[in-house]
Amino acid sequence: MAEQPSRRGVLGTILSALAAPFLLPGKLFAALRSPRKPKWGMVIDLDRCTGCQSCVVACRVENNVPVAGPELNEQDRAIFWMDMLTVPEGKYPDLRTQFIPVPCNHCENAPCVKACPVHATYINEEGIVAQIWGRCIGCRYCTTACPYSRRYFNWKAPVWSESQKQYLNPDVATRPVGVVEKCTLCHHRIRARRMKARLEGRELTDADVRKLPACAQSCPADAITFGDLNDPESEVSLLSRSPRAFKLLEELGTHPKLTYLREAKWKE
């Protein structure tokens, strides 16, 4: 076990954190109130994806998503912020199956946001479709409104065994029964990385965030890219302009910030 700090030490840390903005040198203070806001987006290259589902597990570990267990899973009530859609087509032997990893699409014109009667879900200033768990009344209008089924209702309170509690991520709160939860694009990681960068006296770069979310970091095939869509030179911006790019259910006009790159096959 790590060494225990004195209470004074803990309080001191917290006070200093709260006071930090007032004590920082002028340049850094200005940096904290940076005027240019990023717009976070993601690109998933289906040609690289091998369907291993590492992103799914990585997301669940990172975001303290509980295992549903056989019963809830049979009822389709398991929570997967990052899901793996399998789309089989054809008849043996003329078969085709697509494996599509789907996190929240973080739509610019998000149907869920419009449906929420209590403003528990909103698009934050960096483009993330966020959810305030404490404000959610559990009406599930948003889960119905989302054309991608990317919102999950907590039908049961999560059950953590004593041993499971040990590995919960201390950076992410768990959700109680009766609220809707969803992908946050690992915003806690973005915040931590931004703070680190600013303490080094610089802004976040594309290289900082390219593989920042847990799914992107874990992907063995390097299929998931994350970054700032407001920066025309960022890798996500470049990739979203690829001729292979498409969005899920584009025709609905939801304007997802998640772009897919079509699977290609070898041609002579």
Partner 1 sequence: MNRRHFLKQAGAAAAGGLFLGGCDSRDPYAPEKAPVPGTDAFHTWQEKLVSSACGQCPAGCGIRVRVVEGRAVRIDGHPGCPINQGGLGPKGQSGLQLLYHPDRIRSPIRRDGPRGSGLWKPVSWDEAIGEIAGRLKELRARGDSKGLVVLDGEPRGMMPQLWDRFLLVYGSPNHVDHRSATDGGKVLAMAYMHGVPELPAYDWSRTRYVLGFGASLFESWCQSIHLARAATQWRRGMPGQRVKFVQVSPRFSVTAAKADEWVPIEPGTYGALALGLAHVLIRDEAYDKDFVHDHTFGFDDWKDAEGRPHRGFRDLVTKDYPPERAAQVTGVSVRTIERLAREMVDHRPAVSLADGGAAAATNGLGTAMSIHALNALLGNLERPGGMLVQRAAPLAPWPAVEPDAAAKAPRVDGAGTDLPLARGFVQGLPEAILSGKPYPVQALLLYRSNPVFSKPDGRKWVEALQKIPLVVSFSPLPDESTFWADLVLPDHTYLERWEIVEPVPSMGYPVLTLREPAVKPLHDTLASGDALIRLARAIGEPTAAAFPWENYRTACEARLKGLLGAKNASVAATSPGELRKGIELAGGWSQQPYPFEQWDGAFATLSKRFEFYSRTIAKRLAEVPDLEKRLESMGVATRGDDLCLPHWEPPRFGGDPGEYPFLLVAYRGMNHAEGGARHIPFLRELPAAGRHSWSEMAEIHPDDLARLKIKEGGFVWVESPAGRRRMMAAASPGTRPGTVGVVLGNGAWPPARDEQTPGAASLLVNRSDPLAGILALQGTRVRVRKDGA
* By CB under 8 A, residue 157 contacts partner 1: no
| Contact call for residue 90 and partner 1 (CB under 8 A) | yes
Which of 68, 179, 204, 248: binder of partner 1 (CB under 8 A)? 68
Query: Considering the complex, what minimum distance in angstroms separates the CB of residue 251 from partner 1?
Result: 25
Number of residues that bind partner 1 (CB under 8 A): 89
Residue 165 makes contact with partner 1 by CB under 8 A: yes
Among 88, 117, 232, 243, binds partner 1 (CB under 8 A): 88
Q: Which is nearer to partner 1, 219 or 229 (CB)?
A: 219
Among 220, 250, 253, 262, binds partner 1 (CB under 8 A): 220
Nearer to partner 1, 232 or 266 (CB): 266
Footprint (CB under 8 A) of partner 1, residues 18-57 = 19-20, 24, 45, 47-54, 56-57
Q: How many CB atoms lie within 10 A of CB 85?
A: 12
Binding partner 1 (rule: CB under 8 A), the pick from 42, 43, 62, 127 is 62
Give residues with Cβ within 8 angstroms of 81, minimum separation 6: 59, 60, 63, 65, 103, 104, 150, 152, 181, 182, 183, 184
Q: Interface mask (CB under 8 A) for partner 1, residues 169-198, using x and -? A: xxxxxx-------------x--xx--xx--
Q: What are the residues whose beta carbons fall under 8 Å from the beta carbon of 138, sequence distance 6 or more?
A: 153, 178, 179, 180
CA distances to 39, 97, 109, 118, 167 from 47, rounded to whole Å, are 25, 13, 27, 40, 33
Question: Of 26, 163, 233, 251, which one interacts with partner 1 (CB under 8 A)?
Answer: 163
Residue 266 as a binder of partner 1 (CB under 8 A): the answer is yes
SS (H, E, C) 76-138: CCCCCCCEEEEEEEEECCEEEEEEEEECCCCCCCCHHHHHCCCCCEEECCCCCEEECHHHCCC
Amino acid occupying residue 182:
K
Binder among 30, 137, 207, 264 for partner 1 (CB under 8 A)? 264
* DSSP strands (E only) in the chain: 40-45, 83-91, 94-102, 121-123, 129-131, 152-153, 180-181, 224-228, 245-246, 258-261
The answer to whether 153 contacts partner 1 (rule: CB under 8 A) is: no
CB of 169 to partner 1, least distance (A): 5
How deeply is 198 buried, as exposed, middle or buried, from its count of CB atoms within 10 A (0-12, 13-18, 19+)?
A: middle
Of these, 42, 58, 116, 258, which contacts partner 1 (CB under 8 A)?
Answer: 58
β-pairing verdict for 152-153 and 180-181: antiparallel
76 binds partner 1 (CB under 8 A): yes
Identify whether the C-beta of residue 185 lies closer than 8 Å to the C-beta of residue 42.
yes
Question: Cβ of residue 77: shortest distance to partner 1, in angstroms?
Answer: 9
